[in-house]
Amino acid sequence: MAAQTRALVAARWLADAVKNKRVGPNLRILDSSWYLPIMQRNPKAEFKQTHIPGASFFDIDDCSDKSSEFDHMLPTEGEFADYVGNLGIGNNTHVVVYDTSDFGSFSAPRVWWMFRVFGHNSVSVLDGGFKNWLNEGHPVTKQYSKPERADFKATFDKSWVKTYEDVLNNIKTKEFQLVDARVSGRFRGVEPETRENIEPGHIPGSINMPFPIFMDSTSGLELPVEELKKVFQQAGVDMQKPFWITCGSGVTACHIALAAHLCGHPGVCLYDGSWGEWFVKAAPEHVISEGKGKQPR
C-alpha cells in the first residue's frame, strides 16, 4: 500500500506490476503525453504505435474546460470524474502517469497534479518516464484494450487554483512567492513564446525555475530530495513560506509542485491561466521583459 502514496514510482516497480498482471481496477497506467505545437509530435499517434503494456491515453486538451479561450484550463468536477471513469479509474485505483518526453517528464506532473486537485491522492509519476522505461529495457506494446468503466467521485479543492485577479493582487500584497517553470529565455523575454500573439516575459516579482532543472539531464530521473532542496534554495525560493506556480499554460509548472511535494511541501497553488492568460489581460507595465514586452494600445 505504501506505493500508492508515493509521488514517484520506479520503472522496475511498475514493470513488476505489469509482469504480474496487477494492472486493472486497482492499478491503472496513463500515458499523458502532450506537446507544444512547435515540437511537431502527435502523442496520440505515438501511443498507438508504442506504450507501456496496459496503459491508456490521457488527453490533457480533451480533459479540460472547452468553454475557455485559454489552453487546457481545468475541467469541472463532473467532467473530470466522467473522463477518468471512462479510463477505468475509481476512487480506490492507484494511478501511475508518464509521458514520452525526451526530458524524462514533461506533461505527466500536470496530470498527477490534476488528480490531486480533484481529491485523488493515490497517484504517482513514473520516475524518468518512458525515456527511462526504454533505457532499462522494459517491455512495450502497440496493443490496447479499453478498460471497463469505473465510478469516480471528484472533490475539487479550489484553494489550490489561483486566478488572474489573485496574482494581480499579489503584486501589491507580496503575500506569496510566484515561481515560473518556463525556460529562461522565455521568462526573460529574449526567446519567442510558443503561442501566436503572445510575447515572452514574466509577471512582476516572479522567480524563474525552468522545469528541466528538477531532472537528471541524462537519465530523466527526478533529482534526489536533498538536491531538489538545494535547487529551490539556489533559485531564492523560501520553502517555509507559501508559493504559487506558473508557466506558459499550467503544464510544466506542475514540475515545481511535484518537486515541492517530494521536499515535504504538498499543496502548492497553481495559476492555471499562466502566461497565456497573463499576457492577454495584463497592463503593459505588468509584463516584465528584456525584449519588446507588451505595447500600450
159-286 CATH: 3.40.250.10
Burial class (CB in 10 A: 0-12, 13-18, 19+), 196: exposed
Backbone angles phi, psi at 207, to 5 degrees: -110, 140
Q: What are the beta bridge partners of residue 125?
A: 8, 97
Backbone angles phi, psi at 179, to 5 degrees: -120, 130
Mind listing the pLDDT tens digit for each residue in 183-235? 999 999 999 988 888 999 999 999 999 999 999 999 999 999 999 999 999 99
> Cell 523560501 sits at which residue?
238
Q: Do domains 2-156 and 159-286 have the same CATH topology?
A: yes
Buried b vs exposed e over 94-133: b needs ≥16 C-beta within 10 Å?
A: bbbbbbbbebbbbbbbbbbbbbbbbbbebbbbbbbbbbbb
Arithmetic mean of pLDDT, 84-111: 97
Grid cell for residue 280: 492577454
63 is catalytic: no
2-156 CATH: 3.40.250.10
Mind listing the pLDDT tens digit for each residue in 40-55? 899 999 999 999 999 9
Arithmetic mean of pLDDT, 245-258: 96
Domain boundaries, the chain: 2-156, 159-286
Arithmetic mean of pLDDT, 96-124: 97
Q: Is the pTM here over 0.85, yes or no?
A: yes
d(CA 220, CA 243): 25
Examine the pLDDT at 293 and tell me if it is beyond 90.
no
Residue tagged active-site, from 247, 254, 263, 269: 247
Q: How are strands ordered across the β-sheet holding 8-9?
A: 8-9, 123-126, 94-98, 27-31, 55-57
CA distances from 223 to 48, 83, 215 (A): 31, 32, 5
**What band does 262 get if pLDDT is binned at 50, 70 and 90?**
very high
Q: What is the dihedral of CA 241, 6, 227, 288, to 10 degrees?
A: -50
